[in-house]
Amino acid sequence: MILTRRMLMCVFLGFTSGLPLFILLSLLQAWLATEHVSLRAIGLFSLIQIPYTWKFVWAPLMDRYRLPGLSVLGRRRGWMLVTQVAVMGLVALLGTLDPKGDLSIVVVVCVMLAFFSASLDIVIDAFRREILPDAELGLGTAVHVNAYKLAGLVPGSLSLILSDHLPWDVVFLVTAAFMLPGIALVFFVAEPSAHGAPPKSLRDAVVLPFQEFIARDGWSQALLILAFIFLFKLGDSMATALSTAFYLDLGFTKTEVGLIAKNVGLWSSVAGGLVGGAWLVKLGINRGLWVFGVLQLVAVFGFAWLAKAGPDRAVLACAIGLEAFASVGLGTAAFSAFIARATDPRFTATQFALFTSLAVVPRTFANAGAGFIVSGIGWLDFFLICGVLGLPGLLLLPKVAPWRGVVASKVAIEDIR
């Protein structure tokens, strides 16, 4: 089942979806830090990710309409082509700017990059859900997530190493070129047919996805699920908000960060994702959330250990590997499967956008204040606070994913019209 055309598409789609986000999270931080932009300003750059938290607002438009002039590609592939080309162009444009003298322009370009990247996520999530039958949903999600992480190797490792030897404009141009495989894929895949009929009107595209979600188990359960999606990765997300700046501040070089932190983190997270996918088959999504959630919480304290130890390469590798395996690997595998299960395949773009938008709210808003917190209390106490912030999500598990729980049945579309 692994070596199928659909799984191969999940690899390409996951990579092209993850690349622009890691550019914003990793490469942008290193670029700004190298150009001596203040830590507080770097922390505030998390706010440029606001489009990720609001992508459900324009997701119905992408569910309802085809792009004029690209109707031959279909609804999903047309949007994929335009968003990927826009992302590639904006990444290349960043390298031509000076963050010290053109900081306001850098902010505008980064916001545009986040907007098109979030839009790309919308259409790729919808495309993936529509091409995968239910029997392959878990495996396809795991493959997509791991390819998503592999994309981090480019801006988080290769680009950092290149930046020690090449000017930044060349680095950004090389990084942008990695969008080309995803662009080429658009012309080699077919438009999804299952669940692919667009809503009859914009009103249906906006209203029906929300009605269906609420009608499943009522308002109270819907709010609990949304609260859980918001809180489950809160502590882990905040702990990694300034990870690149944290490593550089401890005294590691960019090459050390590229070779040790990023590579160990990447492969540990991939291993965690594969192990998590295998365990989820036996444990189930609910129990996986319990087990992996606890391990995710424990792993956050590895950063506190690193802050205490200082610029020790062995400790760096151990702390990053532990956090990546447990949090990014195991935790993300269970969390992504939970979100996929909560999405009705008839409303893929809008519901996926709603759930994933909520999941990145902590990364955008809470992380924006991370620089101020670190400046006030230091790295060690900051990571201890992040560990405490991981508790509320776990406390909601008995309500949203009980240990012996059963997946609630979906409500028929006729019942919510």
Please give the pLDDT value at position 367: 63
Annotate 338-396 with DSSP letters as a single string.
HHHHHS-GGGHHHHHHHHHHHHTHIIIIIGGGHHHHHHHH-HHHHHHHHHHHTHHHHHT
Q: How far is Cα 152 from Cα 221, in angstroms, rounded to an integer?
A: 35
Please give the pLDDT value at position 366: 65
Please give the pLDDT value at position 417: 34
Please give the pLDDT value at position 416: 35
Amino acid identity of residue 308, one-letter, is K
pTM: predicted TM-score of the whole model, two decimal places: 0.72
**SS3 assignment, position 252:** coil
Tell how many helices (H) and how many strands (E) occur in the chain: 26, 0
Q: How far, CA to CA in Å, does 93 sit from each of 32, 96, 183?
A: 15, 6, 18
Q: How far is Cα 47 from Cα 70, in angstroms, rounded to an integer?
A: 32
Which DSSP letter does residue 168 get? Answer: H
Please give the pLDDT value at position 407: 43
Please give the pLDDT value at position 288: 85
Residue 279, both tokens: 């365990």
**SS3 assignment, position 65:** coil
Instruction: Tell me if 276 sits within 8 A of 333, measured CB to CB.
Output: yes
Regions in the chain scoring below 50 on pLDDT: 196, 407-417
Residues 6+ positions from 220 with CB-CB distance below 8 Å: none
Which contiguous run of DSSP H or E holds residue 179? Answer: none
Instruction: Tell me if 155 sits within 8 A of 115, measured CB to CB.
Output: no
Give me the domains of the chain, ranges plus CATH numbers: 5-416 (1.20.1250.20)
Please give the pLDDT value at position 34: 83
By C-alpha distance, which of 262, 296, 291 is closest to 25?
262
Please give the pLDDT value at position 173: 95
